[in-house]
């Protein structure tokens, strides 16, 4: 018997089949949508979003001094002219280091070629350079007569024979220029640790020395303050966007009852702030106890982005196994735990002498000497090394995988280097790193791949963006 069904009314079994099919299809579509939304991006996609590239491979610095080991480069770039670069270096004229001169190197073609001017200081060290807004260049060194400042009024083309003396008893001098739009724009701050007499007790103690120049280095107004009764080294200063000056220092010993020094169990690192141009300072603000056997470097984000005025404190640990970065978002009142920058150095890494720079977009760049590719661990602190670079796009919270910048191993302990290779197993107490106005980073370092420390340079770029904090 046949049942007559109305048009559009399918058989009962067909309705059930259709319903099940539609439910299955809906489940498949929802599952597929969820899969594409929720699944993490594969590693190759992440590297395409943000990566570090060497855009100018490492090469010798054309025009740098030849024939003698050249170490401890410091580098500065003109903020208004990326083609104008200046560096200061040490020249080792005798294998036993009994004769150390310094030289200023200047480039007006973006680092393609350099002009060298040797100071003729018989005992010279700690070179540090700064470029002022009106193209005046200052070159501070420690010489036989104490702390000296050379001033070039034409961007480093010519230099005077006679420097401005700043007195004896100084060590590890550095400089910073106020590049803000405030009332102290163009002011230069020269800092050092100064062994001086404490007025209350008449005893010689370490003081943070700050000399301020408001006339492009022609004259200086000195000030000092005693943060505590410990022995310490002064580190680098920075200037925040409102003109606040921040200085950094690392302690290492206390005064014993016999008048001698007693080493502290561990180095501790501090900053202090000044809102009146270096005349008075805050109490010492503790940074970290993670740094050892290093000259830490203080950096700052001068961009207008979400990490503006964030402070960065960079160092290595006492075993040379990690490069550490600490950051502060409240002007040094509190600091993060150390973030490991040298992630790929391995369980027994050998890393030294890190440098930091922050580009105009707020990207944090860090470079350092790294011995991971030298398997001869018996060399100890004289391991052969290469230059590495890493970057952070989220205010130092995380770092992209580092890249190798130099193309060959630099081995310090060689006959041509003499005592310089043993005194500076990582090319000096610091090396040069600057952020260029176009966002690239230029590195300058002492490299001994041919048996003698010579200057090399390279340029890297960080491409892409990473999520910013909300």
pLDDT digits (tens, 9 = 90+) for 215-253: 999 999 999 999 999 999 999 999 999 999 999 999 999
pLDDT > 60? residue 26: no
pLDDT tens digits along 272-281: 999 999 999 9
How many other C-beta atoms are found inside a 10 Å radius of the C-beta of residue 361? 14
Lowest mean pLDDT among 101-105, 191-195, 432-436, 462-466: 462-466
The pTM score is 0.88
pLDDT tens column, 351-388: 999 999 999 999 999 999 999 999 888 889 999 999 99
Q: Supply the DSSP symbol for 76.
A: E
Query: Over the stretch 402-421, which tens digit does the pLDDT of each residue have?
Result: 999 999 999 999 999 999 99
Query: How much is the pLDDT for 346?
Result: 80
Kindly tell me the sign of the dihedral angle through the C-alpha atoms of 228, 234, 238, 243.
Answer: positive
The pair phi, psi for residue 63, each rounded to 5°, is: 105, -5
Pair 57, 459: CB distance under 8 Å: no
Reading the block at residue 308, the tokens are 């503006």
| Look-up of token digits 């070179």 | 127
Average pLDDT over residues 135-164: 97
Taking 80 as the threshold, does the pLDDT of residue 52 lie above it? yes
Residue count of the chain, please give it: 470
* 277 or 50, greater pLDDT: 277
Mean pLDDT of 32-46: 38
Please report, for the chain, the start and end positions of each structural domain, with discontinuous segments joined by +. Answer: 50-464
Average pLDDT, whole number, for the chain?
Answer: 89
Using 50, 70 and 90 to split pLDDT, how confident is the model at 203? confident
Whole-number Cα distances in Å, 467 to 216, 335, 357, 402, 470: 40, 22, 21, 19, 9
56 class by beta-carbon count within 10 Å (0-12 exposed, 13-18 middle, 19+ buried) = middle
pLDDT of residue 44: 36
Q: How many percent of the chain have pLDDT more than 70?
A: 89
Neighbouring-strand partners of residue 432 = 444
Tokens of 233: 């080294």
The count of other CB atoms within 10 Å of the CB of residue 334 is 11
Q: How confident is the model at residue 49, as a pLDDT?
A: 66
Among 110, 14, 29, 21, which Cα is nearest to 457's? 110
Protein fold of 50-464: Neuraminidase (2.120.10)
171: Cβ contacts below 8 Å, ≥ 6 apart? 126, 142, 192, 193, 194, 195, 233, 234
- pLDDT at 11 > cutoff 80: no
Give the model's pLDDT for residue 5: 34
């Amino acid at each position: 018997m046949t049942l007559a069904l109305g048009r559009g009314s399918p058989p009962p079994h067909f309705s059930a089949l259709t319903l099940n099919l539609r439910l299955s299809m809906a489940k498949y579509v929802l599952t597929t949508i969820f899969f594409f939304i929720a699944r993490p991006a594969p590693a190759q996609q992440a590297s395409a979003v943000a990566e570090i590239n060497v855009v100018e491979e490492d090469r010798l610095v054309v025009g740098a001094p030849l024939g003698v080991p050249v170490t401890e480069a410091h580098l500065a770039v003109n903020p208004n002219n990326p083609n104008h670069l200046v560096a200061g270096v040490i020249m080792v004229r005798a294998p036993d280091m009994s004769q150390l001169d310094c030289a200023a190197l200047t480039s007006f073609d973006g680092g393609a070629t350099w002009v060298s001017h040797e100071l003729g200081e018989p005992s010279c060290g700690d070179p540090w350079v700064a470029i002022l807004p009106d193209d005046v260049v200052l070159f501070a060194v420690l010489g036989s007569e104490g702390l000296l400042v050379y001033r070039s009024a034409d961007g480093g083309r010519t230099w005077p024979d006679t420097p401005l003396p700043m007195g004896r008893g100084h060590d590890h001098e550095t400089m910073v220029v106020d590049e803000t739009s405030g009332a102290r724009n163009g002011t230069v701050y020269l800092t050092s640790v100064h062994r001086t007499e404490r007025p209350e007790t008449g005893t010689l103690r370490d003081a943070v020395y700050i000399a301020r120049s408001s006339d492009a280095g022609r004259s200086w107004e000195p000030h000092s303050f005693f943060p505590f009764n410990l022995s310490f080294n002064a580190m680098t200063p920075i200037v925040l966007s409102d003109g606040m000056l921040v200085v950094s220092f690392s302690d290492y010993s206390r005064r014993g009852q016999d008048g001698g020094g007693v080493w502290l169990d561990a180095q501790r690192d501090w900053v202090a702030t000044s809102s009146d141009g270096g005349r008075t300072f805050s109490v010492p603000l503790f940074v970290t106890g993670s740094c050892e056997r290093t000259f830490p470097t203080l950096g700052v984000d001068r961009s207008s982005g979400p990490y503006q005025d964030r402070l960065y404190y960079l160092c290595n640990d006492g075993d040379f196994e990690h490069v550490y970065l600490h950051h502060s978002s409240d002007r040094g009142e509190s600091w993060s735990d150390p973030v490991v920058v040298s992630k790929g150095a391995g369980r027994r890494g050998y890393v030294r002498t890190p440098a930091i720079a922050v580009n105009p977009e707020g990207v944090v760049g860090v470079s350092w000497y790294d011995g991971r590719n030298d398997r001869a661990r018996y060399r100890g602190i004289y391991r052969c090394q290469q230059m590495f670079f890493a970057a952070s796009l989220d205010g130092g919270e995380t770092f992209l995988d580092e890249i190798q910048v130099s193309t060959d191993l630099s081995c310090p302990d060689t006959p041509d280097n003499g005592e310089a290779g043993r005194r500076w197993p990582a090319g000096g107490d610091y090396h040069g790193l600057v952020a260029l106005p176009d966002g690239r980073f230029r590195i300058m370092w002492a490299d001994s791949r041919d048996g003698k420390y010579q200057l090399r340079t390279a340029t890297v770029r960080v491409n892409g963006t990473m999520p910013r904090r909300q």
